[in-house]
Amino acid sequence: MANPAKRIRLSLRPRMRLIEDDQKVLCSPCADGTLNPIRKLVDSLPIKPNPEKSFLKLSIGDPSVFGNFDPPAEVKAAVRDALETSCHGYVPAHGMVSAREAIAQYYTTPSSPLTFEDVYITSGCSDALRIAMDCIGTPTKHILLPKPGFSLYQTIAGNRGIPVKFYNVIPEKNWEIDLEELESLIDDNTAAILVTNPSNPCGSAFSVSHQMEILALAEKYGLPLIADEIYQGMVFEGESHSFGELSKNVPVLSAGGLAKRWLVPGWRVGWLTVHDRNNRLSAVRGGLVKLCQVIIGANTLIQAAIPRILTETPPEFYSSTIARLKKASEIVYSELKGVPQLRPFKPQGAMYMMVQIKIDELEDITDDMKFVETLISEESVFPLPAGIFGIPNFVRLVLTVPEDLLREACQRIATFCDRHKKKRSQNRDN
């Protein structure tokens, strides 16, 4: 016989609403608020290239796409040999000590010494940026972002509910920060300033004097810097340093990784180096470890290879990569500077060039998106519309394309602009 008390307890349980078989399961606000503008564009753009012309993609910053930029043999050997070691299991979530020691030694300078305790290994530089922004930003404390800037910053902030404000960089001044505007955006709810150097998408590399101006402004208001320095060391015009190396009083969380300088973006190992001479980030450091524990750490095979990658990569590899990128930038600039409807901006580093579209000189092109869509359909050339980076009527070109294809792409772009140039009215009085 059933227990009456049990029947009573069951009857007091709240009745659950029955769900229909076809009722949709809702997406969470976290996922719904997550947007990667570049991936959305690439995945959703109605790409219909001209079938009579080869499709030339100058859109994604992956140096491995065309096979002409390859990591050196020493880097590949380091990974191959690491596979024969005991690197198959879990390691500390913020990275192997041996790898962290190697990274600290690689980036240590007399003015900014580092130890392994200042290094946090992440799943790519994008993960390093996510962890840094998530550790410092809050739903009530905003982060200042560059415009134009890498669109992933907004993706991370939107996913985590971190408010942002945008400061402008100035194309005519080699994409330097508008410091007066930046200062006007700072208030009691500012958590940090994020800077990108060298820059994706702009291809800029700040002068040391401009870097010192940025640090002085951050110090004035007691703000830390989050420095996206994935292209550190990839400067081919002028001189530029890590913000952490230059800073005396401003805490700097520098995001880097293997992806760009060693040409292996698919290996997905990055890092944060913390430059904090006055121990202002003591609470943040514990948070960085906790956030690394969310995914239980980065790829251990690649981590095991890091000491050899950093010590055995030949200097000639770095200098050759920079020389080739510089030559590519010169090719694009020389090919496009004479096109009346365009204005290319010569880069100083990274692997990109920004080109302004003079919309008022084109007949039926209304903005950068229309420019790209029509260019693809007519000439099978795909640059990225820079509206996704926050600046209208520019396109971003990738410089890791083989030289012959780069020249051909530029020539097609020039032909396209000539075809769509605004017709001048004829003087009928003559």
**pLDDT string in tens for the chain (430-residue length):** 556 555 555 555 566 666 666 788 888 888 887 888 777 776 767 778 999 999 999 998 899 999 999 999 999 999 999 999 878 899 999 999 999 999 999 999 999 999 999 999 999 999 999 999 999 999 999 999 999 999 999 999 998 899 999 999 999 999 999 999 999 999 999 999 999 999 999 999 999 999 999 999 999 999 999 999 999 999 998 889 999 999 999 999 999 999 999 999 999 999 999 999 999 999 999 999 999 999 999 999 999 999 999 999 999 999 999 999 999 999 999 999 999 999 999 999 999 999 999 999 999 999 999 999 999 999 999 999 999 999 999 999 999 999 999 999 999 999 999 999 998 744 444 4
Three-state DSSP at 267 gives: helix
Contact call for residues 22 and 345 (beta carbons, < 8 A): no
Three-state DSSP at 22 gives: coil
What tokens were used for 73? 């043999």
Burial of 338 (0-12, 13-18, 19+ CB in 10 A): exposed
Pairing of strands 56-58, 394-398: unpaired
Query: What pLDDT is attached to residue 429?
Result: 44
Give the DSSP H or E segment for 119. strand 119-122
* Integer Cα distance of 243 and 258 in angstroms: 19
Query: What pLDDT is attached to residue 41?
Result: 72
Query: What pLDDT is attached to residue 6?
Result: 55
User: What single-letter amino acid sits at 299?
Assistant: N
Distance from the first to the final alpha carbon of the chain: 112
Query: What pLDDT is attached to residue 364?
Result: 92
pTM (two decimals): 0.91
Helix axes 97-107, 300-312, angle to 10 degrees: 30
b/e per residue 62-86 (b: at least 16 CB within 10 A): bbeeeeebebbeebeebbeebeeee
Query: What pLDDT is attached to residue 157?
Result: 94
What tokens were used for 60? 């994604």
Instruction: Give one DSSP letter per residue of 237-262, joined into a string.
Output: SS----HHHH-SSS-EEEEEESTTTT
Reference 157, options 140, 127, 137, 185; nearest CA is 137
* Integer Cα distance of 150 and 38 in angstroms: 9
Query: What pLDDT is attached to residue 426?
Result: 43
Three-state DSSP at 227 gives: strand
Contact call for residues 201 and 349 (beta carbons, < 8 A): no
Place of tokens 């002409």: 68
Q: Rounded to the nearest 5 degrees, what angle is found at the Cα of 100, between the Cα atoms of 96 and 104?
A: 170
Three-state DSSP at 209 gives: helix
What tokens were used for 56? 């030339």
* Integer Cα distance of 332 and 399 in angstroms: 8
Reference 345, options 337, 336, 354; nearest CA is 354
Query: What pLDDT is attached to residue 19?
Result: 62
What tokens were used for 191? 């958590």
